[in-house]
Structures are given as structure tokens and as C-alpha cells.
Amino acid sequence: MLLEKYNPKKVIIYSRDEMKQWEMAKKFEGDSRVRFFIGDVRDRERVYRALDGVDFVVHAAATKIVPTAEYNPFECVKTNVHGAINLIDACIDKGVKKVVALSTDKASSPINLYGATKLTSDKLFVSGNSYAGGHDTRFAVVRYGNVMGSRGSVIPFFMSIRDKGVLPITDERMTRFMISLEQGVELVWHAFEDMEGGEIYVKKIPSMKVTDLARVLAPEAKQEVVGIRPGEKLHEQMIGAEDAYYTYEYLEHYKILPAINNWDKDANRIKDGKKVSEGFVYASNNNDDWMSDEALLAWIDRHYYEIGKI
């Protein structure tokens, strides 16, 4: 999507996952614009080297599986917090123009370590605009829910075990936000175009009950309630009541402005936004928009052709 829309001089993929890079390199073989750089956000010196001559950065590195973070807390902090600090310092020192960091619904009123580290990361990127001092580097954040089909998410998990005839359901009441990868990419692009620095962009997206998701993916399978996993929420939230004081609504998204430096009153950041009501909460269970069976099946038909007629 990026190569097609913007035709950049180069796109650098910075990741510690050499297998994923090798598979991706095969897909883009012959395209000299796509470069690959093995490295870890924890490695400060390597991050500096990777950012040499870079104008724009999308920060997507994270330890993100909730139970994994609960059982490996030190490792989660090293990647999600220390990694963010390394990146912010490197972007400022290397003269990067704009940085968009990917957040998560779990960063709003967090109850697990992953959410707490991502909230910390969000705060770091927001305050990075002040921390930059006289430098021109600007930072913003995008926040959305479950990316449909992403590694470790519920759809590929259910797809991989649906032939067994039983799908594990943590709680029959559980709901989740649903967003396609393409929508997530477009929100990042919007952030780059709109940002002044310090904004958190929250995409308006539909919700779905996990039981409905399982029913559509495997209509014949039995649903077995297994209980909520460590650190898991019944419903996800992207904007909490405490954020409402600084949140503005737009046609396709919300924008949480920073409380620091009176930036929440900055007309350049607000633009044509309408302030939400006091106590406003944007959660997966109080959402006005719910994904239909037909919409989910249409998405599956586009992305899982071999099972498009389930």
C-alpha cells in the first residue's frame, strides 16, 4: 500500500525477525525501494544506524501477547518502554521529521502489563514533542483494536483449530473492536498528514461479540467456555472517561489531545473537531457500530479464499 500510494525512495524494514524479513524479501524481490535491516528496538546503537537518512518512522515493535507479557514482565518492559525511549532519542538526534507510534485499546485504563507498558509508551511519544526541544521531530500515536488476521489474533487462531470441532471461548459476554489491516494503515497515513505533534488518533471501528465471531467462522463447532486468561478484559476500551476532557470527535475517528502545555486547546491540533461530552467512554460493549455476519464473511472471502464459503 505504501509503495503504491507514495512511491518512496526507500522503505526500511527494521525487525529482529529474520525469517519474516526473508519471506517478505521474496515477495518484494527486484524492488530496490524495499530494504531490510536486522535489529532490535532494545539495541540503541543499532536503532541509530537504521535511522540514518530516514524522514518518517512507523513504530510497530512490541511484545504484545497478553499472557506472555504477564509471565515475562521484564522482557515486555525492555521492548515496549525502553525500546520506545531508544527510538524517540534516535529520531530526534537523526533529524527524523515525523513519527507515528502504534498503540492499542489495552492502553486505555490498562489492567495488564502489556496495556500498562503501551500506555507508558504513548505518554513517552506524546511528551517527546516537548522533549525534542528545538529539534523539528514530531511524534503522534494511533490507537485501534484487534487487527483482523494479524499474528496472534483471534481470527487466525480460530481458523487454525476450527476443524477440531471445539472453539475455546473465554467468556460468552466478551466483545472486541475489529479493524482491517488496510484501515489501520490508512489511520497511520491520516496521522502523518494531520499531526502537529502529541495527538492520539482513535479509529471509529465496529465491535463484535467473540461468540458471534466463533459462530461465523465455525458454525458447526461447539463453543466451550474456558474462562478469562491472566490480564484479559471482558470488554476493550479505547477512550476512558478521564480522556474525555481532551478528546474531540471527527467523521471517522476521535483525537485525544495532550493535557500538557495546554495543547488540548490548540486550534491547530483541534481543527474542525467537536469536543465529546463529559464522561464519554469509547468501549467495545457500548459501541454504536457492530460488525454484521455478512461484513465478517466478506472480509474472510477477501483474505481466506480457500474457506470463503463457510
Residues with active-site annotation: 106
Strands (E), 43-157: 56-59, 98-102, 138-143, 146-147
CA-derived radius of gyration, the chain: 20
In the sheet with 253-256, reading across from the earlier edge strand, the strands are 56-59, 98-102, 138-143, 200-203, 253-256, 247-249, 274-275
SS3 108: coil
What is the C-alpha to C-alpha distance for residues 24 and 26, in angstroms, rounded to an integer?
A: 5
What is the C-alpha to C-alpha distance for residues 159 and 157, in angstroms, rounded to an integer?
A: 5
Closest CA to 305 of 297, 184, 218, 214: 297
Closest CA to 141 of 116, 114, 107: 107
The set of cell numbers assigned to 165 is: 470441532
